[in-house]
Amino acid sequence: MITALSVAGSDSGGGAGIQADLKTFAAHGVFGMTAITAVTAQNTLGVDRVDVLPVDAFAAQLQSVFDDFPVTVIKIGMLATAEHAAVLADRLIAMPRRPPIVLDPVMVASTGHRLLDDDAVAIVRDRLLPLCTVATPNLAEAAVLAGDQRLEAWLAKATAPILVTGGDPPAGAPEVGGEIVDALWLNGSLQRKWTGRRIGRRPYHGTGCTLASAIAARLARGEKLPEAIEKAIAWVRALVAIGERLGSGNPVLPHHAVPPT
């Protein structure tokens, strides 16, 4: 059985975080496991509350999973604090055989709520990123990781492949439409772009989590990185095309509605 471990926060609305990861893993025929960093009270309108789990409780989850299960791939999402990020980095560095790792450096929710402590950014960039098979920041997150460097200069010397995603519409977008660009930086240069038509002005809830976990699931199934990215992007865009407004805010993705190819 192919397995995937999601390290992320819980979304009570079910559209992002651990919940989106598990739905994505299941859609790809992958058995999902979790190590939860925080529990959020949120819905399609925004994040109402974040309760960070104690670091020892987080570490115990990692220990329990690694003690008993084979882990084919690891997907990293919301880490919440520097302490959680450091515990994870220590554990991954100590692994004699690391599986593929997909890092979605969750820093800001699509609704604008900050989800990552400033102190954790350096650990994500300096300790976790070099361990990863690919990282999937959006433009804003990539800029945070770049710090005072120009974004392109940082991408050119990044310590792991970087897929810069462009799924969220710019603030104050006046109309439906426009182009989405997802760009893969590999070995110091821009290797490939995937472009598509933007659907709607509202960001779709959970697209970043879903894309990263779809890439992870495909890597777990043995696909090479460019193929995994291309097929994951196509799958997420198919979900967006039929996304639904279950609540009063941002649309959600129907993970069950489109079989992955």
Q: Mean pLDDT for each 10-residue chunk of the chain (261 residues)?
A: 97 96 98 97 91 97 97 96 97 96 83 70 95 94 90 94 76 54 93 85 85 98 97 95 86 94 89
The reported pLDDT for the residue numbered 132 is: 97
Residues 6+ apart with CB under 8 A from 195: 179, 180, 181, 182
What are the DSSP calls for the chain, one per residue?
Answer: --EEEEEEEEETTSSSHHHHHHHHHHHTT-EEEEEEEEEEEE-SS-EEEEEEPPHHHHHHHHHHHHHH---SEEEE---BSHHHHHHHHHHHHH-SSPPPEEE----B-TTS-B-B-HHHHHHIIIIIGGG-SEE--BHHHHHHHHTTS-HHHHHHT-SS-EEEB--SPPTT--SS--EEEEEEEETTEEEEEEEEE---SSPPBTHHHHHHHHHHHHHHTT--HHHHHHHHHHHHHHHHHT-B--SSSS-B--TTSS---
Which pTM does this prediction carry?
A: 0.93
For position 110, what pLDDT does the model report?
A: 57
Q: What's the pLDDT score for residue 177?
A: 52
Q: What is the CATH number of domain 3-241?
A: 3.40.1190.20
- DSSP β-bridge partners for residue 47: 42
Q: Which residue has the tokens 């570490």?
A: 59
Domain ranges, ordered by start, for the chain: 3-241
